[in-house]
Structures are given as structure tokens and as C-alpha cells.
């Protein structure tokens, strides 16, 4: 089975440009998570969805960040306008619902974003 | 709120050495505990997990025991290999919260 798919793997852009990161979760998984990883702050949860509905976006740093999940097989994280401090690796993860348990999250390979 | 504290890295060992990476947590409920590993250039992968007190998770020679009395979940391996070089993350998930809280990560380097 294919794992979580993210695109692009690398993105280099200039300050002020719009950036869109994409994620395809594992089929049948109804939770999707977006994380950001930096040296300074480690791994931070930005937002997560359940059945395509945003549940907790308290980690989204500011209004420049937005995330959508139009259907069960696709999600986007958009930064507009981008700033150099947004440079990081962005991970998408998904997991299924298992009644009565909290189970493993499956991570994609990440998108390394560099904003010049 | 819930939090996870890992031992500071980086950690450098010789091949076949014994490994311990300390992890303690703070949680209001009874969380599930995880160790994830991140190899260079890759995403995180689950290494092992434990869902209740005194459970032992194990995988690939790594072990960790859920200790409620000391709120700890230390990662151990008896004989490390060069291929174990990676960043290791301890994490918890409060069963009601649906999301993972990660420690800061510990970079492990194994020299031949």
C-alpha cells in the first residue's frame, strides 16, 4: 500500500510568494495532521482534520497560513504571503479511527520549504 | 497541558554499545506513549508504543516500558548498530485529545 504522499518534496520560493503544499493521506484514514519541524521549535502540530473537517487549528501560526481538506484523499497547506521564518520541513500524517484507542500516526516524507 | 521531555542530545556511541534515551511526561489522563524514529531525509516512523502502565513496547531490538509511577518511557537497546543513527522522538497521546505531543527529539550517532 502507498503511504502518505506529499508534494513537492522541496520548494524554494521568494519572500512574498504564495506557497501550496499538498498531501494525500493513506486510503481509509479519516484523521489528517499537518506538522512543522524546525531546529528551534522542534515538531509542532499546526492543524488536524477528522472526516475532512478541521478540528483543531490552534497551532496555525498566523493568518498567513490556511489549510483545507476538500475530500478524503487530498489536503493543502497554503502560506500567503510567505516569509523567511516559514522555512521548515512540513509533514503530513494520517491515521484511522479505532474505537476506544488512540493509534499510530503515519507520516509522509515531508516538504522542505525554503523562503529566500 | 500535556508535555514530553527528552534527554538532551546529541548522543554519540560506538557500535555495540548500550543505549538509553530518557523520556518523561506530564499528562492529566492516562496517555498512550510512543517512540518515533526519523532517519535522515525521511519522515517519522513509529518504532514502538505502549498503551497502559507496565506495558513494554519493543521493535528492532529497542524496548521501552511504560512506568506510571515515574511518568517515564525510556528507550533502550542492548547493542546499537551504525544503522540506528537517527533522531528519536518520544511522544504521548491523551486518549481524549486525538493528537500527539512530541518531545524535542534526540539525535543519535553510532560510530563504527
pLDDT band at A33 (very low <50, low <70, confident <90, very high): very high
Burial category of B98 from C-beta neighbours within 10 Å (exposed 0-12, middle 13-18, buried 19 and up): middle
Taking only the tens place, the pLDDT of each residue in B36-90 is: 999 988 889 999 999 889 999 999 999 999 999 999 999 999 999 999 999 999 9
The DSSP string of B49-96 is EE-STT-EEEETTEEEE-BTTTTB--EEESS--GGG-EEEEEEEE-TT
pLDDT at residue A16 is higher than 60: yes
- At A101 the pLDDT is 53
Rounded to the nearest angstrom, the minimum Cα separation between A40 and chain B is: 9
pLDDT at residue A47 is higher than 90: yes
Distances (CA, A) of B17 to A115, B35, B63, B107: 41, 20, 15, 16
Taking only the tens place, the pLDDT of each residue in A53-62 is: 999 999 998 8
Q: Is A107 on the interface with B (CB under 8 A)?
A: yes
Rounded to the nearest angstrom, the minimum Cα separation between B5 and chain A is: 12
Contact B51 A101 (CB under 8 A): yes
Which residues are within 8 A (CB) of B101 and not within 5 positions of it... i.e. 6 or more apart? B1, B2, B3, B4, B91, B92, B93, B94
Helix, strand or coil for residue A86? helix
pLDDT at residue A4 is higher than 90: yes
Helix, strand or coil for residue B27? coil
Contact A56 B99 (CB under 8 A): yes
- At A1 the pLDDT is 64
Which residues in B lie closer than 8 A to residue A108 (C-beta atoms)?
Answer: 43
- At B68 the pLDDT is 93
Amino acid at each position: 500500500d502507498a503511504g502518505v504522499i506529499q508534494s513537492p518534496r522541496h520548494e524554494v520560493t521568494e519572500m512574498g510568494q504564495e506557497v501550496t503544499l499538498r498531501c494525500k493521506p493513506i486510503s481509509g484514514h479519516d484523521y489528517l495532521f499537518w506538522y512543522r519541524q524546525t531546529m528551534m521549535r522542534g515538531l509542532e502540530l499546526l492543524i488536524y482534520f477528522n472526516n475532512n473537517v478541521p478540528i483543531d487549528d490552534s497551532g496555525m501560526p498566523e493568518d498567513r497560513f490556511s489549510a483545507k481538506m476538500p475530500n478524503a484523499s487530498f489536503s493543502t497547506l497554503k502560506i500567503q504571503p510567505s516569509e523567511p521564518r516559514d522555512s521548515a520541513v512540513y509533514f503530513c500524517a494520517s491515521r484511522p479511527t479505532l474505537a476506544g484507542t488512540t493509534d499510530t500516526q503515519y507520516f509522509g516524507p515531508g516538504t522542505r520549504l525554503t523562503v529566500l | 497541558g500535556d508535555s514530553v521531555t527528552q534527554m538532551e542530545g546529541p548522543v554519540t556511541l560506538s557500535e555495540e554499545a548500550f543505549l538509553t534515551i530518557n523520556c518523561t511526561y506530564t499528562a492529566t489522563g492516562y496517555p498512550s506513549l510512543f517512540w518515533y524514529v526519523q532517519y535522515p531525509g525521511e519522515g517519522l516512523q513509529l518504532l514502538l508504543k505502549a498503551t497502559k502502565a507496565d506495558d513494554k513496547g519493543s521493535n528492532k531490538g529497542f524496548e521501552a516500558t511504560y512506568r506510571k509511577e515515574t511518568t517515564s518511557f525510556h528507550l533502550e537497546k542492548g547493542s546499537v548498530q551504525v544503522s540506528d543513527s537517527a533522531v528519536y522522538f518520544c511522544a504521548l497521546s491523551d486518549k481524549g485529545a486525538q493528537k500527539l505531543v512530541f518531545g524535542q527529539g534526540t539525535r543519535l550517532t553510532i560510530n563504527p
